[in-house]
Amino acid sequence: MTFDLAASTAAVETAESFIAQATAQLASYTVVDGRMSVKDLDKHQVFAYDLAHAAAGVAGCRSMLRYATYGDFEAKLAGFYIAETIADLVSRIIGRETEWGVSASALSPAADYVEHYRSNDFIESFYPEVISHRGGDAHLDDSFELVQDTFRRFGDDKIKPHAEHVHRTNGDVPQEIIDGLAEIGGFGLSVPEEYGGFADGSENDYMGMVVATEELARASLCLGGSLITRPEILTRALVKGGTEEQKQQWLPQIAAAEVLSAVAVTEPDYGSDVAGVKVSATPTDGGYLINGVKTWCTFAGRANVLMVLARTDPDRSAGHKGLSILLVEKPVQDGHVFEFAQDGGGKMEGRAIDTIGYRGMHSYEVAFDNWFVPSDNLVGGKGGLGRGFYLQMEGFENGRLQTAARAVGVMQAAFEAAVEYGDNRMVFGLPVSGYQLTKAKIVRMAALIQAGRQFAYDVAKMMAAGEGLLEASMVKAYVCRTSEWVTREAMQIHGGMGYAEEYDVSRYFVDARVLSIFEGADETLCLRVIARRLADRVK
């Protein structure tokens, strides 16, 4: 058998057919009278969750087929990823074939392909190529290579020297990083050119954001990759639904980092169930009074403005249609606690929530007590009343793609650390990288990272064309889970030193853990978005 692009394509088509059959089975359980029944979906949560991740992995295979056309090394890396993905399908289906409505035998046409690319002989022979190619070139065009080089150099020179200190002390993001990132355009990647940013309305906008985010996250998830997420979300909401006056006022300041933003959506009793939020915005003379508590409001201390999703319709039966977005201005405060008061009696208090990783940004619980917000700060003006949920989702969909890029950056850093340590650490007379098991881990890391990267590139192009909302959720769910395995194994390759804070790899591990939680918790994303939309496509 010749293992070429045609063989890889056939293997992917086998996997896609398997997913299609399983999806049809899920739809038969959950679609009633042409509409998805959440109640029925919840009766099959385990199936739906596994199917969502399996479908995301298979979607990544398509991106790797494109990557395979760049050369022999790329074709081999794609082959390994595709084989791993099909093997994962087999592991999910065994013992559950009746519920899934498809037999493991449906994957048998790809059996020889999988056996070849997952064999120990292939892995050991391929390992030197993985090392010499440093995991594989991204194959960007010249303009995006310039973006990659610019943000990589900034990450190496300006972010990395601070990353470990901020992590270990749970300190604040140094102002020099914020200023430097503003100078190279990091905060204006999605701000339209007419408002002082760099977005020209082409697919380059999304691709530039993905490439830049990966490189910043490679240096540090919190000090780099996540620093531009909140302005990205606010920018998308303003561009989509803000008034012209609001765009003129806020977008140039966001692009120049004159305004730093935070997003206040989650509440103590409402996490991913955004439509259930209770924080209220009650009309008063000249504006609104905000009351209630938000939590997991990242960067709230340093932010000049909070993007608050609040209930402007007191009738809770209105659900998500009663929500609006208000731009809540506040003073800047370093540290872990803040408390502010307005002349009219309004109060705002915040406290940082200690976390195992993702330090430096600080996620706050923020309490509002009759905090006044002028009516001019209602996004969209009167026309924005009741549109908050939709504008928030506009930012979140893009945020999911950006989070996938952050995950790729963290994985890349972990991969590089594992390769370096594995080559230099001697165990029983051999370097750690000299053992078969280490080689298998490194090869799998390289394949997973490249698949996540290429999938993110493809989703960026889809979103630029007004499509890809399902795929944005898929790449986020899949790559963020993948990052946990990659960083864990990179830490394991370091042995005892991986558990020590002496090496950066421990930071990568605890940082990666948050990725499956924010921007849509993994379970909610898989059940309420991916599985649901997959089943809807069957109708």
pLDDT (0 to 100) of residue 395: 76
CATH number for position 274: 2.40.110.10
**Confidence band for 213, pLDDT divided at 50, 70 and 90:** very high
| Strand 426-427, strand 337-341: pairing | unpaired
Alpha carbon distance 278, 282 (integer Å): 12
Q: Which residue has the higher pLDDT, 501 or 82?
A: 82
Among 419, 437, 428, 408, CA closest to 494: 419
pLDDT (0 to 100) of residue 273: 65
Give residue-wise pLDDT tens across range 451-497. 999 999 999 999 999 899 899 999 999 999 999 999 999 999 999 99
Q: How many domains does the chain have?
A: 2
| Strand 261-264, strand 305-311: pairing | parallel
The whole-chain average pLDDT of the chain stands at 93
Q: Is residue 21 part of a domain?
A: yes
Q: Name the residue with tokens 């026309």.
A: 383
State which of 346, 363, 389 marks the end of a domain.
389
Alpha carbon distance 406, 422 (integer Å): 24
pLDDT (0 to 100) of residue 2: 44
Dihedrals φ, ψ of 271, to 5°?
A: -100, -95
pLDDT (0 to 100) of residue 463: 92
Q: Is residue 69 part of a domain?
A: yes
Catalytic residue check, 193: no
Q: Is residue 235 part of a domain?
A: no
Q: Is residue 213 part of a domain?
A: no
* Span 239-261, average pLDDT: 96
Task: Enter the tokens of residue 180.
Answer: 């430097």
b/e 366-396 (16+ beta carbons within 10 angstroms → b): bbbbebbbeeebbbbbeebbbbbbbbbbbbb
Q: Which of 394, 397, 471, 519 is catalytic?
A: 519
pLDDT (0 to 100) of residue 4: 80
Q: How many other CB atoms sit within 10 Å of the CB of residue 330?
A: 18
Where in the sequence is the domain holding 355, given as residue range(s)?
261-389
pLDDT (0 to 100) of residue 387: 94
Alpha carbon distance 213, 222 (integer Å): 11
pLDDT (0 to 100) of residue 272: 60
pLDDT (0 to 100) of residue 1: 42
State which of 118, 153, 170 marks the end of a domain.
118
pLDDT (0 to 100) of residue 426: 85
Among 433, 444, 434, CA closest to 411: 444
State which of 337, 368, 389 marks the end of a domain.
389
Q: Is residue 166 part of a domain?
A: no
pTM: 0.94
Q: Is residue 338 part of a domain?
A: yes
Is pLDDT above 60 for 10? yes
Give residue-wise pLDDT tens across range 372-413. 999 999 999 999 999 999 888 877 778 899 999 999 999 999
Q: Name the residue with tokens 């064309």.
A: 465
Q: Is residue 249 part of a domain?
A: no
Alpha carbon distance 65, 63 (integer Å): 5
CATH number for position 97: 1.20.140
Give 172's DSSP letter: P
* Span 76-100, average pLDDT: 97
